[in-house]
Amino acid sequence: MGFEKHAVGRVLIRTKIRRALWNCVSFFLFRPFVTKFFRVWRVALLKIFGAKLAWDAEVYSSVKIWAPWKLQMGHRACLGPNVICYNQDWVILEDDVVVSQYAYLCTASHEVDKLNTANDSLITAPIRIRNKAWIGTKAFIGLGVCIGTAAVVGATASVYKNVDDYHVVGGNPAKTLKIRNLK
Protein backbone atom coordinates (compact mmCIF):
# COMPACT_ATOMS: atom_id res chain seq x y z
CA MET A 1 0.00 0.00 0.00
CA GLY A 2 2.77 2.45 0.85
CA PHE A 3 4.61 1.78 -2.42
CA GLU A 4 1.44 2.38 -4.48
CA LYS A 5 0.78 5.64 -2.69
CA HIS A 6 4.40 6.74 -3.26
CA ALA A 7 4.20 5.85 -6.98
CA VAL A 8 0.93 7.77 -7.34
CA GLY A 9 2.55 10.76 -5.63
CA ARG A 10 5.43 10.71 -8.12
CA VAL A 11 2.99 10.61 -11.04
CA LEU A 12 1.08 13.57 -9.60
CA ILE A 13 4.27 15.59 -9.17
CA ARG A 14 5.44 14.71 -12.69
CA THR A 15 2.03 15.75 -14.08
CA LYS A 16 2.16 19.05 -12.20
CA ILE A 17 5.63 19.79 -13.59
CA ARG A 18 4.52 18.93 -17.14
CA ARG A 19 1.43 21.10 -16.73
CA ALA A 20 3.45 24.03 -15.41
CA LEU A 21 5.83 23.77 -18.36
CA TRP A 22 2.93 23.47 -20.82
CA ASN A 23 1.19 26.49 -19.27
CA CYS A 24 4.32 28.61 -19.75
CA VAL A 25 4.84 27.42 -23.32
CA SER A 26 1.16 27.90 -24.09
CA PHE A 27 1.17 31.44 -22.73
CA PHE A 28 4.32 32.60 -24.52
CA LEU A 29 4.57 30.42 -27.64
CA PHE A 30 1.07 29.12 -28.45
CA ARG A 31 -1.61 31.69 -27.60
CA PRO A 32 0.10 34.78 -29.12
CA PHE A 33 0.31 33.18 -32.58
CA VAL A 34 -3.28 33.77 -33.64
CA THR A 35 -3.44 33.68 -37.43
CA LYS A 36 -3.93 30.63 -39.65
CA PHE A 37 -0.37 31.24 -40.84
CA PHE A 38 0.82 29.78 -37.50
CA ARG A 39 -1.46 26.68 -37.56
CA VAL A 40 1.46 24.32 -38.22
CA TRP A 41 3.48 26.02 -35.44
CA ARG A 42 0.69 25.36 -32.93
CA VAL A 43 0.33 21.74 -34.09
CA ALA A 44 4.11 21.27 -33.76
CA LEU A 45 4.10 22.62 -30.19
CA LEU A 46 1.28 20.28 -29.24
CA LYS A 47 3.13 17.34 -30.80
CA ILE A 48 6.26 18.25 -28.81
CA PHE A 49 4.11 17.94 -25.68
CA GLY A 50 2.87 14.49 -26.73
CA ALA A 51 -0.35 15.26 -28.60
CA LYS A 52 -1.18 12.87 -31.43
CA LEU A 53 -2.32 15.26 -34.15
CA ALA A 54 -2.56 15.01 -37.91
CA TRP A 55 -0.58 17.84 -39.50
CA ASP A 56 -3.75 19.22 -41.11
CA ALA A 57 -5.62 19.48 -37.77
CA GLU A 58 -6.70 22.96 -36.70
CA VAL A 59 -6.29 24.19 -33.13
CA TYR A 60 -7.09 27.85 -32.59
CA SER A 61 -4.67 29.79 -30.43
CA SER A 62 -7.37 30.65 -27.89
CA VAL A 63 -8.07 26.97 -27.10
CA LYS A 64 -7.25 25.96 -23.52
CA ILE A 65 -5.81 22.45 -23.34
CA TRP A 66 -5.19 20.92 -19.91
CA ALA A 67 -2.86 18.10 -21.04
CA PRO A 68 -1.65 18.00 -24.66
CA TRP A 69 -0.27 14.49 -24.06
CA LYS A 70 -3.87 13.27 -23.76
CA LEU A 71 -5.16 14.81 -27.00
CA GLN A 72 -5.59 13.01 -30.30
CA MET A 73 -6.93 14.69 -33.46
CA GLY A 74 -7.43 13.21 -36.91
CA HIS A 75 -7.24 14.78 -40.34
CA ARG A 76 -8.96 18.17 -40.64
CA ALA A 77 -10.30 17.94 -37.06
CA CYS A 78 -10.82 21.37 -35.51
CA LEU A 79 -10.87 22.79 -31.99
CA GLY A 80 -12.48 26.19 -32.54
CA PRO A 81 -11.95 29.52 -30.79
CA ASN A 82 -12.07 29.53 -26.99
CA VAL A 83 -12.77 25.80 -26.65
CA ILE A 84 -11.87 24.39 -23.24
CA CYS A 85 -10.37 20.92 -23.46
CA TYR A 86 -10.18 19.77 -19.84
CA ASN A 87 -8.56 16.47 -20.70
CA GLN A 88 -7.37 14.73 -17.56
CA ASP A 89 -8.19 11.65 -19.63
CA TRP A 90 -8.02 11.20 -23.42
CA VAL A 91 -9.93 13.44 -25.80
CA ILE A 92 -10.03 11.81 -29.23
CA LEU A 93 -11.34 13.70 -32.24
CA GLU A 94 -11.48 11.57 -35.36
CA ASP A 95 -11.26 12.89 -38.95
CA ASP A 96 -13.32 15.97 -39.95
CA VAL A 97 -14.66 16.66 -36.45
CA VAL A 98 -15.56 20.27 -35.67
CA VAL A 99 -15.75 21.52 -32.09
CA SER A 100 -17.22 25.01 -32.29
CA GLN A 101 -16.33 28.08 -30.26
CA TYR A 102 -16.70 28.08 -26.48
CA ALA A 103 -17.47 24.35 -26.29
CA TYR A 104 -16.30 22.53 -23.16
CA LEU A 105 -14.88 19.00 -23.31
CA CYS A 106 -14.63 17.70 -19.73
CA THR A 107 -13.09 14.29 -18.97
CA ALA A 108 -13.09 14.59 -15.17
CA SER A 109 -15.53 14.87 -12.31
CA HIS A 110 -15.88 13.77 -8.69
CA GLU A 111 -17.72 10.83 -7.20
CA VAL A 112 -20.99 12.26 -5.98
CA ASP A 113 -21.39 9.58 -3.31
CA LYS A 114 -18.39 10.90 -1.38
CA LEU A 115 -18.59 13.95 0.85
CA ASN A 116 -14.99 14.89 0.12
CA THR A 117 -14.16 16.49 -3.25
CA ALA A 118 -10.39 16.08 -2.84
CA ASN A 119 -8.26 14.10 -5.29
CA ASP A 120 -9.38 10.78 -3.78
CA SER A 121 -12.86 11.29 -5.25
CA LEU A 122 -11.64 12.32 -8.73
CA ILE A 123 -12.92 10.18 -11.59
CA THR A 124 -11.95 10.42 -15.25
CA ALA A 125 -13.10 8.85 -18.51
CA PRO A 126 -12.16 9.59 -22.13
CA ILE A 127 -14.25 11.51 -24.64
CA ARG A 128 -14.37 10.23 -28.22
CA ILE A 129 -15.90 12.21 -31.08
CA ARG A 130 -16.30 10.13 -34.24
CA ASN A 131 -15.74 11.09 -37.89
CA LYS A 132 -17.59 14.11 -39.27
CA ALA A 133 -19.37 14.95 -36.00
CA TRP A 134 -20.05 18.57 -35.14
CA ILE A 135 -20.16 20.02 -31.64
CA GLY A 136 -22.08 23.31 -31.54
CA THR A 137 -21.09 26.53 -29.82
CA LYS A 138 -21.07 26.48 -26.00
CA ALA A 139 -21.93 22.76 -25.87
CA PHE A 140 -20.75 20.69 -22.89
CA ILE A 141 -19.50 17.14 -23.43
CA GLY A 142 -19.10 15.15 -20.22
CA LEU A 143 -16.66 12.42 -19.24
CA GLY A 144 -16.95 9.02 -20.88
CA VAL A 145 -19.14 10.26 -23.73
CA CYS A 146 -18.83 9.05 -27.32
CA ILE A 147 -20.36 11.25 -30.03
CA GLY A 148 -21.28 9.09 -33.02
CA THR A 149 -20.29 9.44 -36.68
CA ALA A 150 -21.79 12.54 -38.36
CA ALA A 151 -23.78 13.37 -35.22
CA VAL A 152 -24.55 16.99 -34.36
CA VAL A 153 -24.61 18.40 -30.84
CA GLY A 154 -26.62 21.62 -30.91
CA ALA A 155 -25.51 24.92 -29.46
CA THR A 156 -25.53 25.04 -25.64
CA ALA A 157 -26.46 21.35 -25.34
CA SER A 158 -25.18 19.38 -22.35
CA VAL A 159 -24.24 15.80 -23.26
CA TYR A 160 -23.81 13.24 -20.47
CA LYS A 161 -24.58 10.05 -22.45
CA ASN A 162 -23.39 8.67 -25.77
CA VAL A 163 -24.91 10.10 -28.95
CA ASP A 164 -25.70 7.63 -31.74
CA ASP A 165 -24.43 8.00 -35.30
CA TYR A 166 -26.28 10.65 -37.38
CA HIS A 167 -28.35 11.88 -34.43
CA VAL A 168 -28.92 15.59 -33.85
CA VAL A 169 -29.20 16.36 -30.15
CA GLY A 170 -29.95 19.46 -28.13
CA GLY A 171 -31.02 20.65 -24.71
CA ASN A 172 -29.91 19.98 -21.15
CA PRO A 173 -29.64 17.09 -20.78
CA ALA A 174 -29.28 16.53 -24.53
CA LYS A 175 -32.03 14.57 -26.24
CA THR A 176 -32.39 13.45 -29.84
CA LEU A 177 -34.14 16.09 -31.92
CA LYS A 178 -33.90 14.27 -35.24
CA ILE A 179 -31.80 11.85 -37.25
CA ARG A 180 -29.73 13.25 -40.11
CA ASN A 181 -30.60 12.02 -43.57
CA LEU A 182 -27.40 12.78 -45.47
CA LYS A 183 -27.77 12.55 -49.22
- pLDDT value of position 145: 98
- pLDDT value of position 17: 96
Cβ atoms within 10 Å, residue 56: 14
Answer yes or no: are the C-beta atoms of 163 and 148 closer than 8 Å: yes
Give the pLDDT confidence of 27-52 residue by residue, as tens digits: 999 999 999 999 999 999 999 999 99
Q: Is 50 left (phi over 0), alpha (psi -120 to 50) or beta?
A: left
Cβ atoms within 10 Å, residue 114: 11
- pLDDT value of position 1: 47
Q: Does domain 2-179 have CATH number 2.60.40.2140?
A: no
Give the pLDDT confidence of 89-103 residue by residue, as tens digits: 999 999 999 999 999
- pTM metric for this prediction: 0.93
Q: Produce one character per residue of 30-47: b if its CB has 16 or more CB atoms within 10 Å, e if not.
A: beeeeeeebbeebbebbe
User: Can you tell me the distance from the alpha carbon of 146 to that of 169, in angstroms, rounded to the nearest whole number?
Assistant: 13
- pLDDT value of position 3: 55
Enclosing H/E stretch for 106: strand 104-106
Positions of the chain with pLDDT under 70? 1-8, 115-119
Measured between alpha carbons, how far is residue 162 from residues 27, 114, 141 in Å? 34, 25, 10
- pLDDT value of position 111: 85
Residues whose CB is less than 8 angstroms from the CB of residue 109 and which lie 6 or more positions away in sequence, other chains included? 122, 123, 124, 142, 143
